[in-house]
Structure 1
Amino acid sequence: MSRREVRMDSVPALPRLYAEALAHQVRSKLTGSGGEQVLPAVEHVVSGVRPEVPRLEAYQALVGDTVRSTLPSVFVHGTVFPVAMSVLAARDFPLPLLGMVHLSNQVEHLRPIGVDETLDVRAWAEKLRDHHAGTAVDVVCEASIAGDVVWVGTSTYLAKGVWSGPKPERRGDREPFTAPRQTGAWRLGAGTGREYAAVLGDYNPIHLGALPARALGMKRQIAHGMFLAGKALAQTAPRAGGYHWDIVFEAPVLLPSTVAFGVTTTDALLSFEGWNAAKGRRHFRGAVRPL
């Protein structure tokens, strides 16, 4: 599909995007049923994006990653994330951004990316589709260096309770969870979401405190999915060469909380899981493999 380029001078600020999204939602007549939902045929483009070293160092300290001169994959995601969010926050985007649930990520980290390299970023939305709990959409973000693609991330989000037609039936039951061997435990405080937001700028209200989270349908504030992915990859991602990684989020991590964590190795594949040991409920699962 041909997409029209929307060029921006710089990476937009996430707080401004969330404020714009809130204004759009207040004005919107979207009721959650009826009406055709169509994705805009656009891609947002920003050139000359430079990673910020102090931000990188703060990220490495926050998730327990190794201090090095190449960029962790989730830090790349955080750097380009506002470009992707600008697609979702646009007035012509058919789904409400605020309250949207993060379902999964698929990432190709094609080669090590140096902290001194400059990224050209483009992002677009695709594959709008029905889900038993609402409407799902993929947001693709691509980072290039001197014309060569070095990182491609696909994030899948869910607009809960929003359908373009009849609500589809749920297909099958979730498989019962059997915990793997536990290799660690993450003790996450109530301010974890605010700490991640301070580093990478993602001030989505569902992560910041109990009151804004409840206003958007959560029991209390939840951890950022990409913070959890960053902690998992700090223990599993290779330090040299390219790699593929993915993560699926099954249940939110309410803050404060303790997350049990386990890693399983099968040939070149590293699988990881995080779960609530007291309730026997999995929060996320994922895998890493070298390219």
Structure 2
Amino acid sequence: MTTTVVLPSVPALGGLFARGAGLSLQRRVRSGPTTLPDVEYVVRGVRADASHLTAYQHLLGESASDRLPAGFVHVLAFPVATALMVRSDFPLALVGLVHVANRVTQLRPVLLSDVLDVRASAADLRPHRSGTQVDLVTEVSVDGTLAWRGVSTYLARGVFLAGSVDETSDPFVPPTPTGRWKLAGDTGRRYAAVSGDRNPIHLTALTAKAFGFPRAIAHGMYTASRALADVGAARGDAFDWSVEFVKPVLLPGTVTVRIAHDGDAFAFAGWDARSGKPHLTGSVTPLS
């Protein structure tokens, strides 16, 4: 039976990351994962701040509106899911988890004036060829009705779970580009300011090198949310938005992109023009 834990407010990411770092040191000597905690976290009465929304819209290129972009809703809900990942009984260490995919279903517009209830749980602990994957599921409701649902998939490299793995994917072939993003060296710090995600790998070359990166890297959700913003109003009021993160974007850097119709959907991809290797691929599908 799932235990529901009601939190008094959305927790601060800084404290959660500090707790996660401490627990990660303990888990280095533990055996592989077994089960997920059968618990969900709930925060009621969440309100978006107008200045916070405006800062996000300016950074990501979203139009000025009282409608919350789906990526901004992710920002509001992310700390509640993170709180689950820093529980002492969560089987994977927060430090080193790689965000490999994200899927969002938005069922109706979420407005600045809406009062939100946020619910988070963990699901589907499963083997991967490089380690173990897990989904963090967040749901945002307005007046008791589900408005937004997000599934963030994380990979713990080198931490293996028993079971078979059947993972194949088609090779990436760079399509005809429709544009380029030129990302400045402070892109990670600017997104950290609006998201609260101040993971050192995104902030400076010095802090990123401590984790094995030659330079700071862009947040995956920054690139995914920028692609969503580029689709713009054509996504409609309700849509599915999915993305897979493949190769980090080093900052400063240039991402070659294609965002175009693909049947009833919009497909997007970002890649390195010199190597031809993808950074991200995904789609936005309006729901009729």
Q: Following TM superposition, by how much is the alpha carbon of 1:178 offset from its aligned partner in structure 2, in angstroms?
A: 1.8
Q: Following TM superposition, by how much is the alpha carbon of 1:60 offset from its aligned partner in structure 2, in angstroms?
A: 0.7
Residue of structure 2 aligned with 1:42, choices 39, 44, 47? 39
Tell me if structure 2 keeps the 8 A contact 1:99–1:206: no
Q: How does 1:147-158 map to 2 (within 5 A)?
A: 147-158=144-155
Query: Are residues 144 and 184 of structure 1, via their aligned partners in 2, closer, same or farther at CA, if it must alter by over 3 Å?
Result: same
2:19 matched to 1:20?
yes
2:187 matched to 1:192?
yes
Tell me if structure 1 keeps the 8 A contact 2:236–2:286: no
Point out 4+ residue stretches in structure 1 off by more than 4 angstroms.
Answer: 168-172
Q: How does 1:162-181 map to 2 (within 5 A)?
A: 162-165=159-162, 171-172=167-168, 174-181=169-176
Residue of structure 2 aligned with 1:284, choices 269, 280, 284? 280
Query: Are residues 35 and 70 of structure 1, via their aligned partners in 2, closer, same or farther at CA, if it must alter by over 3 Å?
Result: closer
- For structure 2, the residue ranges without an aligned partner over 5 or more in a row are none
In structure 1, give the amino acid aligned to 2:228. Answer: L
Tell me if structure 1 keeps the 8 A contact 2:33–2:159: no
Tell me if structure 1 keeps the 8 A contact 2:122–2:137: yes
Residue of structure 2 aligned with 1:205, choices 187, 193, 200? 200
Q: Following TM superposition, by how much is the alpha carbon of 1:21 offset from its aligned partner in structure 2, in angstroms?
A: 0.4
Alignment partner, residue 249 of structure 2: 253
Alignment partner, residue 132 of structure 1: 129
Q: Deviations 1:156-208 (Å, cap 9, x if unpaired)?
A: 00011111448x77855x53322222111111122211110111101112211
Count of residue pairs the alignment pairs up: 286
In structure 1, give the amino acid aligned to 2:9. Answer: S
TM-score by length of 1: 0.93
**Aligned mates of 1:243, 1:4 — CA distance in 2:** 31
Q: Deviations 1:4-62 (Å, cap 9, x if unpaired)?
A: 0111100001111000001111233535xx44521100001100000111111111111
Residue of structure 1 aligned with 2:230, choices 235, 243, 265? 235
Query: Are residues 267 and 28 of structure 1, via their aligned partners in 2, closer, same or farther at CA, if it must alter by over 3 Å?
Result: closer
In structure 1, give the amino acid aligned to 2:217. Answer: I
**Aligned mates of 1:242, 1:211 — CA distance in 2:** 41
Larger mean CA deviation between 261-270 and 193-202 belongs to 261-270
Q: Following TM superposition, by how much is the alpha carbon of 1:90 offset from its aligned partner in structure 2, in angstroms?
A: 1.4
TM-score by length of 2: 0.94
**Aligned mates of 2:10, 2:65 — CA distance in 1:** 24
In structure 1, give the amino acid aligned to 2:126. Answer: R
Tell me if structure 1 keeps the 8 A contact 2:126–2:161: no
Query: Are residues 35 and 26 of structure 1, via their aligned partners in 2, closer, same or farther at CA, if it must alter by over 3 Å?
Result: closer
Alignment partner, residue 80 of structure 1: 77
- Alignment RMSD, CA only? 1.7
- For structure 1, the residue ranges without an aligned partner over 5 or more in a row are none
Query: Are residues 185 and 128 of structure 1, via their aligned partners in 2, closer, same or farther at CA, if it must alter by over 3 Å?
Result: same
Residue of structure 1 aligned with 2:51, choices 35, 54, 60? 54
**Aligned mates of 1:5, 1:105 — CA distance in 2:** 24
Tell me if structure 2 keeps the 8 A contact 1:45–1:121: yes
**Aligned mates of 1:132, 1:139 — CA distance in 2:** 20
Tell me if structure 1 keeps the 8 A contact 2:102–2:152: yes
Alignment partner, residue 183 of structure 1: 178
Tell me if structure 2 keeps the 8 A contact 1:138–1:154: yes
**Aligned mates of 2:166, 2:275 — CA distance in 1:** 23
Q: Percent identity?
A: 45
